[in-house]
Amino acid sequence: MKILANDGMPAKTKEMLREANIEVDVNHYEKEELINRIKAYDILVVRSATKVDADLIDAMEFGKTKLIIRAGVGLDNIDVEYARNKRIQVSNTPNSSSNAVAELVLGQMITIARFMHQANVSMRNGEWNKKEYTGVEIFGKTVGIIGFGRIGQAVAQKASALGMDVVFYDRYPINISGYKSVQIEELLTCSDFITIHTTATDTPLIGESEIEIMKNGAFLINAARGNVVDENALILALDMGKLGGAAIDVFTNEPHPNPKICNHPKVSVTPHIGAATMEAQDRIGDEIYRLVVDFEEGFNGCHKAV
């Protein structure tokens, strides 16, 4: 069994796989070279940098690759339907990064509520702007969570523990005591902080008309996918003072984010680091190991004589 980890793999996971007699190549190949080399591997492991599109999947079909593992949650860099039609299995690691993302979101909420992002920059410039940084507390405020899966629920738990009221909207009916399920319009109008935890969408969930009905001075946090927020509408709303601030970890054009967002004084920006903690990466490694071992057992089982 041979694995290509095209966007890296924790050393501990590589070692565990080696002990199970599974060979792992940790190399990054760009598209053309990857297409030429992929035929030699049983499993491809990617993070978000490698785009697994129809061309790459076609190359796998005529080789031996039977499993693609996304080390992370979002599958938007993989043409899942195309792969499955070619009988190539696609798996992700959905259980590992919820806490890491939720902690980043909570940190960002407090950052933008207390101007920490601005204070950091101004103090490095030798300024002492104490009078400009009177913020608001998150205690007693309402946070609206759009998308109430594992990550959304982890955010809710932490926000609630810090004294926030939680409302949420999810496209599927979910009933969890302690949190109020509302329609999206109600969430937008009643929340002081709005944080999004959905998968990627074809059209933005938050655009001009959604921002228009938000509270004046509301804060928006996006650690989901860049395309769920209309970036131009966001910039306009910040410029006009409609929104009090935003914290943005994900961008429509990664790794080349819109400079107007990165340089906006009301935005706290991070380079898609929601899952980037030692603990989350360890857990992701463990999930990858389990997926590989289960796959190998199933694969060997299929080839046993009956």
65 binds ligand MLT (CB under 6 A): no
Kindly give the pairing relationship between strand 267-269 and strand 193-196: unpaired
Q: Contact 5/25 with Cβ under 8 angstroms?
A: yes
Residue of 117, 197, 225, 283 marked catalytic: 225
- Contact with ligand MLT (CB under 6 A) among 47, 117, 150, 197: 47
- Name residue 227's amino acid: N
74 binds ligand MLT (CB under 6 A): yes
Residue of 137, 254, 279, 297 marked catalytic: 254
Contacts 24+ apart (CB under 8 A), 296-299: 296/1, 296/20, 296/22, 299/1, 299/42, 299/66
Pick the closer one to ligand MLT by CB: 148 or 179: 148
Query: Cβ 73 to ligand MLT, closest distance in Å?
Result: 4
Provide the 10 A C-beta neighbour count for residue 180: 14
Is 225 an annotated catalytic residue? Answer: yes
- Name residue 12's amino acid: K
Binding-site residue total for ligand MLT (CB under 6 A)?
9
Measured distance CA(144)–CA(184) in Å, rounded: 9
Among 148, 155, 239, which Cα is nearest to 199's?
A: 148
Query: Cβ 48 to ligand MLT, closest distance in Å?
Result: 4
Contact window for ligand MLT (CB under 6 A) among 13-21, 30-38, 70-78, 119-127: 70-78
Using only the alpha carbons of the chain, give its radius of gyration: 22
138 binds ligand MLT (CB under 6 A): no
Query: Cβ 289 to ligand MLT, closest distance in Å?
Result: 17
- Name residue 70's amino acid: R
Query: Cβ 275 to ligand MLT, closest distance in Å?
Result: 4
Query: Cβ 250 to ligand MLT, closest distance in Å?
Result: 7
73 binds ligand MLT (CB under 6 A): yes
274 binds ligand MLT (CB under 6 A): yes
- Contact with ligand MLT (CB under 6 A) among 91, 97, 142, 191: 97
Pick the closer one to ligand MLT by CB: 74 or 147: 74
CA atoms lying within 13 Å on the CB side of residue 297: 7
Residue nearest to ligand MLT (CB): 72
Among 202, 246, 190, which Cα is nearest to 223's?
A: 246
Burial class (CB in 10 A: 0-12, 13-18, 19+), 94: middle
Among 167, 174, 224, 233, which Cα is nearest to 201's?
A: 224
Q: How far is Cα of residue 3 from the mean position of the Cα atoms in its chain?
A: 24
226 binds ligand MLT (CB under 6 A): no
Binding site for ligand MLT (CB under 6 A): 47-48, 72-74, 97, 272, 274-275
| Catalytic residue positions, numbered | 225, 254, 272
